[in-house]
A = this chain, B = another copy of it.
Amino acid sequence: MDPTLEAISAEEYDRLTSLYGPLTDAVRDLIDATIRTDADENTLREARAAIAAVTDALRAGQLRTRPEVRIGADGRPVVWSNAVIGLRNPIAPPLTVNHDAPGRCWSEFSLGAAYEGPPGLVHGGVCALVLDHMLGEAASEGLTKPLFTGTITVRYLRGTPLGELRAEAEIDRAEAVKTFVRGHLSDASGITAEAEGVFVRPSWAREAS
């Protein structure tokens, strides 16, 4: 299953973002309402029917069956469906990742009820998901270099509360085909979880670089 590779202009990127972004945001709101509602049985039944009708309408158009990779004007892949940063993926918070130096990045974002594990706290696995992504962004310098995650270790210092959070990641060192990256997740009171990852350049990309 080869992805479709296609370069798009900044204008096209903006057009697609304004086309799909509001729909995806609306589904994010719906996810939150679905988890938290105390509506009566009748409202729930009507909601379900209305949602099914929207799904049918969206599926009446052709559905994307092959993964799609487009390359933006800045050389970064445009990732619609990515589970952490995908602009078209309602599951993604989404994170906006800022690269402030080569091999270093940060993101500030908010995690609501959909990301809960223990009551009131972010699921430990969601912390790992976010940290894995951020470490990968740092290692690959914004997903512009082909790299696979070899290993990631997450140390939980305390529970991460739902709400406003920040994640940072930075390349520690590189040795041959391996890149070592560190990062952490924090709330207003400080670091809640730390991570270390080893990223590996795939063999097919070694000759090319």
Residues of A within 8 A of B (CB): 1, 3, 19-20, 22-24, 26-27, 29-31, 33-41, 43-44, 46-48, 50-55, 57-65, 67-69, 80-84, 86, 88-91, 113-117, 119-120, 123-126, 128-133, 136, 148-156, 159
Contacts and interface: CB of A to CB of B under 8 A. Distances in A.
Contact of A82 (B36, B50, B120, B123): B123
Copies in the complex: 2
B57 A39 contact: yes
A23 B44 contact: yes
A94 B189 CA distance: 32
Nearest to A92: B114
Nearest to A22: B48
Given A35-B88, A38-B63, 18 more contacts: A20-B44, A23-B48, A26-B48, A27-B30, A27-B34, A30-B30, A30-B58, A31-B31, A31-B91, A34-B88, A38-B64, A39-B61, A83-B123, A83-B126, A91-B114, A125-B133, A128-B132, A153-B153
A118 B29 CA distance: 26
B81 A35 contact: yes
25 contacts: A19-B41, A26-B47, A26-B51, A30-B51, A31-B31, A33-B55, A34-B90, A35-B64, A35-B81, A37-B61, A39-B61, A43-B58, A47-B58, A50-B53, A68-B119, A81-B116, A82-B123, A83-B117, A84-B125, A124-B136, A124-B149, A125-B132, A126-B129, A148-B159, A150-B156
